[in-house]
């Protein structure tokens, strides 16, 4: 797949200096738009050629899994990870130097195939791609796609599976605690964070924010 006899830093500079070969790409349809991604097999080959087999790894600091609904009403499972890609360059004639790149990745699936393992695997591949992009590679394809993808993600982000009535009951309980002088600022902050992460019912969020004046 990689048509070069170079490796390590030399190959990295060659890839960085040239346009991304079309045969490295696969097109994925998202929200009616087509996006170009580096094939998983190419990502694996690049890592092994840049750094050497066994000389690169992911250090994952955070894993988050969310189950919700897309804007079209389908159940959607999202896995997000954040951490670091660490490696050492493959050139034997150079002093081995470490690489540490911060990156994040995400994977999602619309059931029937609930599989945390598949989601996580997809997120890790995405994280590896983004680590290479953070090092300056593939900018000719990712800069434009990234802006369009952000809009698609916003449109398809999981919505709350918690009924409004349940959320409103919790808000009423907080209001009652405030009137009784039992509500703490920490409880309010936790409730505000939950509502913002949830992304739903802005009117109920506003009621919680107003409770800060009573504490």
- Note the pLDDT tens digit of each residue in 55-74: 899 999 888 877 777 667 77
Token digits of residue 178: 């405030």
Specify the residue for token string 């894993």: 63
Q: How far apart are CA 103 and CA 133, in angstroms?
A: 9
Same domain, 14 and 85: yes
68-to-105, 127, 146 alpha-carbon distances in Å: 19, 22, 23
Number of domains the chain is built from: 2
Same domain, 87 and 186: no
Q: What is the pLDDT of residues 106-162, one digit of tens each?
A: 877 665 555 667 777 888 988 999 899 888 898 888 765 555 555 555 555 555 556
- Between vectors from CA 175 to CA 169 and to CA 178, what angle results, nearest 5°? 145
Quote the domain boundaries for residue 91: 8-156
Token digits of residue 12: 């990295």
Same domain, 64 and 44: yes
Residue 176 lies in a domain: yes
Same domain, 179 and 83: no
Residue 177 lies in a domain: yes
Same domain, 127 and 208: no
For residue 83, list its beta bridge partners: 60, 103
Helix, strand or coil for residue 49?
helix
Same domain, 42 and 59: yes
140, 156, 172 - which closes a domain? 156
Burial of 50 (0-12, 13-18, 19+ CB in 10 A): buried
Q: Which band of pLDDT confidence, cut at 50, 70 and 90, is reported for residue 206?
A: confident
Residue 148 lies in a domain: yes
Query: pTM of this prediction?
Result: 0.61
Same domain, 58 and 86: yes
Same domain, 119 and 143: yes
Same domain, 114 and 200: no
Same domain, 170 and 91: no
110, 130, 156 - which closes a domain? 156
Specify the residue for token string 């039992």: 182
Q: How far apart are CA 96 and CA 116, in angstroms?
A: 36
Side-chain-side CA neighbours of 167 within 13 Å: the count stands at 21
Task: State the CATH number of the domain containing residue 14.
Answer: 3.30.390.80
Token digits of residue 160: 């709350």
Question: Above 90 in pLDDT, residue 42?
Answer: yes
The answer to whether 91 and 55 have CB atoms below 8 angstroms apart is no
Q: Of 70, 79, 81, whose CA–CA distance to 152 is shortest?
A: 70
Mean of the per-residue pLDDT values of the chain? 79
Q: How far apart are CA 197 and CA 43, in angstroms?
A: 32
Same domain, 123 and 173: no
Q: Which band of pLDDT confidence, cut at 50, 70 and 90, is reported for residue 215?
A: confident
Q: Of 145, 213, 201, whose CA–CA distance to 168 is shortest?
A: 201
């Amino acid at each position: 797949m990689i048509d070069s006899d170079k490796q390590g830093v030399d190959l990295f500079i060659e890839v960085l200096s040239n346009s991304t070969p079309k045969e490295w790409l696969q097109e994925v349809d998202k929200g009616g738009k087509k996006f170009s991604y580096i094939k998983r097999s190419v990502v694996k080959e690049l890592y092994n050629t840049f750094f050497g087999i066994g000389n690169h790894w992911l250090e994952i600091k955070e894993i988050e899994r969310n189950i919700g609904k897309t804007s079209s009403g389908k159940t959607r499972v999202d896995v997000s990870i954040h951490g670091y890609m660490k490696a050492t360059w493959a050139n034997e004639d150079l002093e081995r130097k470490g690489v540490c790149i911060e990156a994040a990745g995400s994977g999602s699936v619309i059931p029937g195939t609930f599989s945390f393992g598949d989601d996580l695997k997809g997120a890790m591949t995405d994280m590896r791609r983004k680590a290479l992009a953070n090092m300056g590679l593939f900018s000719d394809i990712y800069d434009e796609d990234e802006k369009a993808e952000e809009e698609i993600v916003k449109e398809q982000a999981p919505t709350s599976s918690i009924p409004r009535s349940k959320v409103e009951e919790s808000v009423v309980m907080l209001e009652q605690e405030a009137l009784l002088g039992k509500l703490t600022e920490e409880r309010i902050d936790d409730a505000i964070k939950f509502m913002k992460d949830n992304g739903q019912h802005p009117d109920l969020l506003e009621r919680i924010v107003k409770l800060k004046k009573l504490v």
